[in-house]
Amino acid sequence: MAKGLLREKAYKAAVIDIGSNTIHLLVADYSQGRIRPILDRRVRAGLGVAVANGAALGIGRIHAVASVVRAFAAEAREYRVVVHVLSSEQEAVLCVAGAELEPLPQPPFLCADIGGGSCDMAAVDAAGVRRVASLPVGSGVLAARELHGDPPRTAEVERTARRLWRLLSAADLPGYPSFSEVVVTGGAARRLGRQVRDEGGAGGRPIGLLLETIQALLRRPSTAWPRAAKPELAAIVRAGGMILQAIAVRWEVQRWRISPYGLREGALAFRARGLSLEAAVPVGEPATGRYTLEDSYANRRAWQAPVH
């Protein structure tokens, strides 16, 4: 999807994120490695669901999306709109940059951004993002195609799990057969996290509790969840949970954590520090101003060759 970046004035910037499930506007201050949101709005668009079965978006939906983007741009009218269409590789790197606004696990670890139409993954070591992979499956599209009913039928769940496993079995992050921890970003993941019992303490949580929660959400109607949800949102949470479950099994993940930050915050941090979004590539690939990790526990970022 297209990501519209609105250039910063001093250390203030705005990002419009046109995703498969929702359209987001984030206006924020960035200072000393931290983001302070000023305005955070979202509108459900359902673009991924609309094309899940090969249908066209239609002129009506296109006009509706254009109206939302125009309204968001007007709210951030101090800024000049520059549209960037990001590759899945750039999205994966920017999600790591956003997640690093909070303490990260000891590398190496996996970062997974579960979107509405795709899932972007990044293998991260002490130097930064080393490998990326994108799966052509997201929470919105998977929910629309596979998981019907509240709760979905057992046969639907089993069929979806088999399809996800076939897809994940073919995915590869060369040099990384397993990860001790996964950092997850995206709206479906954050909603999923609210359903998991809080064990207290900082850092990652054991993966077993998450897997138990996902199974419970698949069996129970959304009205019986720890936090009741609307059926249409519940389907997206279930789908995101099944994707995360498949990732955890595929890479033998032991612990997990959900980041409150992701692509939008990562894009804002990039530009606030003078980096071009074209620099959002894995370590070892040619780029000017490449993003690296330095000391995640102190929430510090290392920025090389800033773009002016």
Q: What does the pLDDT look like over 71-106, one tens digit per residue?
A: 777 776 666 666 677 788 888 989 998 898 888 999
* Low-confidence winner among 58-67, 146-155, 238-247 (lowest mean pLDDT): 58-67
Q: How far apart are CA 45 and CA 90, in angstroms?
A: 23
Q: According to the model, what pLDDT value does residue 245 have?
A: 96
CB atoms near residue 178 (< 10 Å): 12
Q: According to the model, what pLDDT value does residue 57 have?
A: 60
| DSSP summary character for residue 220 | S
Q: According to the model, what pLDDT value does residue 140 have?
A: 87
Is residue 246 classed as helix, strand or coil in its secondary structure? helix
Q: What percent of the chain has pLDDT over 70?
A: 74
**Banded model confidence at residue 11, pLDDT cuts 50, 70, 90:** low
Sequence-distant (≥ 6) Cβ neighbours of residue 77 within 8 angstroms: none
Q: In terms of Cα–Cα distance, which of 279, 238, 226 is closest to 97? A: 279
pTM of the model: 0.79
CA distances from 71 to 64, 67, 75, 100, 203 (A): 11, 6, 6, 30, 38
Could you tell me the CATH superfamily of domain 88-258? Answer: Exopolyphosphatase. Domain 2 (3.30.420.150)
CA distances from 66 to 18, 21, 59, 73, 141 (A): 10, 15, 10, 10, 21
The dihedral through the CA atoms of 219, 223, 224, 225 has a sign that is positive
Q: How far apart are CA 294 and CA 159, in angstroms?
A: 42
The winner for highest mean pLDDT among 50-64, 189-203, 219-233 is 219-233
Q: What's the mean pLDDT in 134-144?
A: 89
Q: According to the model, what pLDDT value does residue 154 have?
A: 96
**Does the pLDDT at position 159 exceed 60?**
yes
Q: What is the pLDDT of residues 236-293, one digit of tens each?
A: 999 999 999 999 999 999 999 999 888 888 888 777 777 777 777 787 654 434 445 5
**Does the pLDDT at position 4 exceed 60?**
no
Q: According to the model, what pLDDT value does residue 303 have?
A: 25
Q: According to the model, what pLDDT value does residue 183 have?
A: 96
* Low-confidence winner among 2-11, 200-209, 299-308 (lowest mean pLDDT): 299-308
Sequence-distant contacts of 122-125: CB under 8 A, at least 24 apart: 122/92, 122/93, 122/95, 122/96, 122/282, 123/173, 123/175, 123/176, 123/179, 124/96, 124/293
Is residue 84 classed as helix, strand or coil in its secondary structure? strand
Q: According to the model, what pLDDT value does residue 149 have?
A: 93
The phi and psi torsions of 80 (rounded to 5 degrees) equal -95, 130
